[in-house]
Structure 1
């Protein structure tokens, strides 16, 4: 079986595909991954023995550059065109295409599968992109929903209109270039009838929706066999468990202020500090020996040794911290992150910071909640309920899907 996994986005969009690729290879599948050309993605895939087919511009450069919302249709057109140029040759001879990432990228990959007559699966790593009466959609930059509208059905209708305005022309122009008919509703085309939701059902319970047959596989997380670096281990061993602070793929344009506030607040709680560099390039603020900066490490192994995790509330980091039983302070920056922050608070495994910019007083209050013994006990209990087989489940489903699509062999 040959499988093409295609995405465009941040680390949170690429890392789950690494896990799925490894599980597919264990089933003797040949796997290719189309993803942004960032070096960290290439190294992560290479470490798993999976080739990267680079597509589009650097995701890190695009994210940290903070392009204006008005450029979104133009960037979408470039991204879809790049999908057709790259995914078509990469998908030749494949038995199935798995499409995820930002809407234009997924739409482009699904169009390639349609053109080549290859079965495809649309996957999301958070349910807020799936129309449901139980939650509202995410607003696109520069296109806020009217504040007086609160009915979820109306909001989802407005969401479909926004997606068509932003991406419809670009998608249909590129589809026409490969001989495909236009799409009337871009969101419905990308979501399809039976999308996969690759999240944990405890952290992210799917409550159902009309006309959608959602397959929730569990989160796609790959156990990391890499040992923690020796200098990091020495720091952990040299004192009480520190508090980790890091914001993953979020640029945090006031990163020096964020570092100072976070470090001073954590120190005021009598705790040592681990600073995750991330795309924000967070750093220490002085030469005291109670702080240590970490780069690319096995977060699950690390989070199992910290007193709490302060982070941006991306789906991957939230799930990893939950699996490790680490209390969390989530400082959501946007998109789906307020949702994950609310789930952490609702489950009692941490605190949701009010707003994207931590201040000494607000972060102190959140840390006090996270560091309370009852929060640690609840985080430990929830950790035991988090599924660990999501990627394996998805790999088996793909294998079964391809088997069902193949014609029977006649003798």
Structure 2
């Protein structure tokens, strides 16, 4: 079977789809991943075919406006800043639609799996008359009264409010994307129809495969049967070997604390690194700082701190005492699988959700939003993770449950079943 995966975003957004694609390839399917060219080598190095989707939307994050977007203190600040960038995004969005269609025409797939940022994919599948499914890394697409999502205040957990927040997210999504989806639908020769994010081109319910462990998010009882929790889609690198300096550092003392914020650079990565080093110095713990894609830029390091650019989380995190990160879905999953307490410092997007949710599970201190991060608050959280045995036990229990799952295998089986039905578009 030929499978096209349309995915877009940062490395953390793309990597789970590559993991699933690799698993599908091992089961005899030919998989093409259409994504940004910055990930072409990454995709092809895992035995998958690559198709082009432009990099322009990601490049915006490297601009001053993009960095401002990452440092907005709340949802409404993000919305205001996003509105100012609409004119830049509009031509990019139209290009993404065109390039997704070209990728499908070139690969002639039997099945399409797509990430939420490419919501036009069901129309392409409808034109080709093939099955399609949404692959989701966060549980904010299928409405439920059981989960607090981005717009629900942290201390309020009411089913009506939870559902209202999903309805508002759906309304915003339709308003933002309908202007692109409607003309594309007409271009494909499909009959007019109101855009609904969870519907196929014909209006049938869209299957949603959530790359989330049921040990972390319990499946809501009010979800439709088209919504699935498969377990996380991990991409392990068993052949990876650490640099000698990293191995020597880890062997020289007790497990350190990991600090990494990926591509969440913002305007002040030097200041953020200074806060981390000050708090860590007060606790007397050792640390590993990952500079990632510019999230942290320390100017000088004490002997008890090791600086790296990156390392596979599956190898590194189990060797840590705890982890501190931005709360991206992939990093959060890896931290939980390691079975160590984890502190989330959310910047934007789904990160506040994960910070609050993992705290409620008992595996993390209360999240500290980037705008409220101080050395005092970080010091207190580090001490809590080091001394709270109940938190350490809960993190270990969740980690053991995740390690017993086979998320990519479960998702691959579901895709094969969905493809066999053929007429779901």
Of 108, 111, 122, the residue aligned with 1:93 is: 108
Give the superposition deviation at 1:76: 4.9
Aligned residues: 392
How far 1:268 sits from its partner (Å)? 1.1
Tell me which residue corresponds to 1:227.
Answer: 241
- Within 2, Cα distance between the matches of 1:234 and 1:87? 49
- Tell whether 2:415 aligns with 1:398: yes
**Bigger mean CA offset, 214-223 vs 174-183:** 174-183
Secondary structure of the residue aligned to 2:343 is strand
The answer for the alignment partner of 2:69 in structure 1 is none
SS at match of 1:185: coil
Q: Distance between the aligned counterparts of 1:151 and 1:312, measured in 2? A: 26
Equivalent residue of 1:186, what SS? coil
Q: Which residue of 2 aligns with 1:409?
A: none
Q: 1:317 to 1:163 in 2, by over 3 A?
A: same
Contact 1:77/1:171 (8 A) holds in 2: no
1:193 positional shift = 4.1
Which residue does 1:364 correspond to in 2? 379
Aligned to 1:384, the other structure's residue is in SS state helix
Q: Distance in 2 between matches of 1:81 and 1:353?
A: 37
Larger deviation, residues 66-75 vs 223-232? 66-75
State TM-score, norm by structure 1: 0.88
For residue 237 of structure 1, the aligned residue among 251, 275, 280 is: 251
Alpha-carbon separation, structure 2, partners of 1:302 and 1:27: 28
Q: Secondary structure at the match of 2:284?
A: coil
The 3 A distance-change label for structure 1 pair 89 and 345 is: closer
For 1:319 and 1:155, the matched residues in 2 are separated by 24
In 2, distance between residues paired with 1:178 and 1:342? Answer: 42
Partners of 1:182 and 1:247 in 2: CA distance: 43
CA distance in 2, matches of 1:51, 1:110: 21
Q: Equivalent residue for 2:136?
A: 124
Match of 2:284 among 270, 274, 293: 270
Per-residue deviation at 1:59?
A: 5.3
Instruction: Please state whether the residue corresponding to 2:55 is helix, strand or coil.
Output: coil
Q: Measured at CA, do residues 119 and 317 of structure 1 come closer, stay the same or move farther in structure 2, by a change above 3 Å? A: same
Tell me the CA shift for residue 215 of structure 1: 1.3
- For 1:287 and 1:251, locate their aligned partners in 2 and report how far apart those are by CA, in whole Å: 19
In the alignment, structure 1 residue 205 sits paired with structure 2 residue 218: yes
Equivalent in the alignment of 2:145: 133
Question: Using a 3 Å threshold, how does the CA distance of structure 1 residues 151 and 130 change in structure 2: closer, same or farther?
Answer: same
Q: In structure 1, what is the equivalent of residue 229 of structure 2?
A: 216
Q: Distance in 1 between matches of 2:177 and 2:40?
A: 28
When residues 23 and 175 of structure 1 are mapped into structure 2, their CA distance, relative to the original with a 3 A threshold, is same
Q: Are 1:12 and 2:12 an aligned pair? A: yes
Question: How far is 1:378 from its partner?
Answer: 2.7
Kindly tell me: are residues 322 and 46 of structure 1, through their superposed partners in 2, closer, same or farther at Cα, counting changes over 3 Å? same
Equivalent residue of 1:368, what SS? helix
Could you say what secondary structure the match of 2:197 adopts?
helix
Alignment equivalent of 1:249, drawn from 238, 259, 263: 263
TM-score, with normalisation over the residues of structure 2?
Answer: 0.85
> What residue number does 2:157 align with?
none
Work out whether residues 34 and 87 of structure 1, in 8 Å CA contact, stay in contact via their aligned partners in 2: no
Partner of residue 78, structure 2? none
Matches within 5 A, 1:291-330: 291-330=305-344
Structure 1: give runs of 5+ residues left out of the alignment: 140-149, 407-411
Distance 1:48 1:216 in 2: 25
Output the CA distance in 1 between the equivalents of 2:101 and 2:241.
Answer: 35
- Superposed displacement of residue 329, structure 1: 1.1
C-alpha offsets along residues 129-149 of structure 1, whole Å, 9 cap, x if unaligned?
22112235545xxxxxxxxxx
Q: Distance in 1 between matches of 2:256 and 2:293?
A: 21
Question: Cα distance, 1:208 vs. partner?
Answer: 3.3
Partners of 2:208 and 2:288 in 1: how far apart? Answer: 38
Does residue 188 (structure 1) correspond to residue 198 (structure 2)? The answer is: yes
Displacement of 1:353 in angstroms is 2.5
Distance 1:166 1:183 in 2: 16
- Number of the residue aligned with 1:379: 395
